[in-house]
């Protein structure tokens, strides 16, 4: 087993790693042990107030835009907003699992008022929404992030449809509210 581990072939079994003595030769395994245990997601739902968070935004237009996005996402998910970490406003939750086996829970849809823009997190990206993206208005994208400077830059009806479709795309993995508690 030790020879396999030295060659980088991990068994993936924590028990195998724990049975090794921490001799001088085994000390490099400390990093290997931490890699074999799944890292816990740092951004989780909190009990902090969404209204208090949004009301601390100094710029009135940015604050108003955030409250409008709350209403758009609330209507699409039929869920109340929750704080995820210190700066993400999320709605509902779904379970994901990567091919690597890593899994967790994340909001069905969420947004964050960042320093330079409003970032909306749409879980399936934008490839299947090209028709809407062309009509949306002024925006930027990166992976599953939609970046807006202000809500007035986009067609709100197109944004609502984009949010609605994004929510629908993760419906099979959605965790119903009663099960999430």
pTM of the shown model: 0.74
Q: How far apart are CA 56 and CA 10, in angstroms?
A: 48
d(CA 2, CA 143): 40
Q: Which domains does the chain have, with CATH numbers?
A: 2-36 (no CATH), 50-180 (3.90.1150.200)
User: Residue 3's pLDDT is what?
Assistant: 45
Note the Cα 143 to chain centre separation in Å: 12
Lowest mean pLDDT among 6-10, 56-60, 61-65, 129-133: 6-10
Residue spans of alpha helices (H) in the chain? 2-6, 14-18, 29-36, 50-55, 60-77, 130-136, 156-169, 177-180
Phi, psi of 147 (to 5 degrees): -105, 125
Average pLDDT of span 88-104: 89
Banded model confidence at residue 23, pLDDT cuts 50, 70, 90: very low
Contacts of 2 (CB under 8 A, 6+ apart): 20, 25, 26
> CA–CA separation, 66 vs 68, rounded Å?
5
CA distances from 113 to 22, 57, 68, 149 (A): 47, 8, 12, 10
Please say if the pLDDT value at position 28 is more than 80.
no
């Amino acid at each position: 087993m030790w020879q396999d581990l030295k060659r980088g072939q991990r068994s993936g079994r924590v028990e195998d790693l724990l049975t090794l003595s921490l001799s001088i030769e085994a000390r490099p395994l400390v990093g290997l042990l931490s890699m074999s245990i799944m890292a816990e997601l740092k951004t989780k739902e909190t009990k902090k107030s969404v209204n208090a968070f949004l009301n601390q935004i100094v710029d009135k237009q940015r604050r108003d835009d955030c409250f409008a996005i709350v209403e758009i996402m609330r209507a699409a998910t039929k869920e109340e907003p929750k704080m995820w970490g210190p700066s993400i406003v999320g709605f509902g939750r779904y379970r994901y699992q990567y091919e690597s086996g890593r899994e967790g829970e994340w909001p069905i849809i969420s947004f964050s008022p960042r320093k330079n823009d409003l970032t909306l997190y749409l879980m399936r990206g934008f490839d299947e929404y090209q028709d809407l993206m062309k009509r949306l208005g002024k925006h930027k994208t990166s992976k599953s992030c939609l970046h807006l400077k202000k809500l007035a830059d986009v067609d709100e009806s197109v944004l609502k449809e984009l949010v609605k479709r994004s929510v629908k795309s993760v419906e099979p993995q959605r965790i119903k509210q009663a099960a999430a508690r």
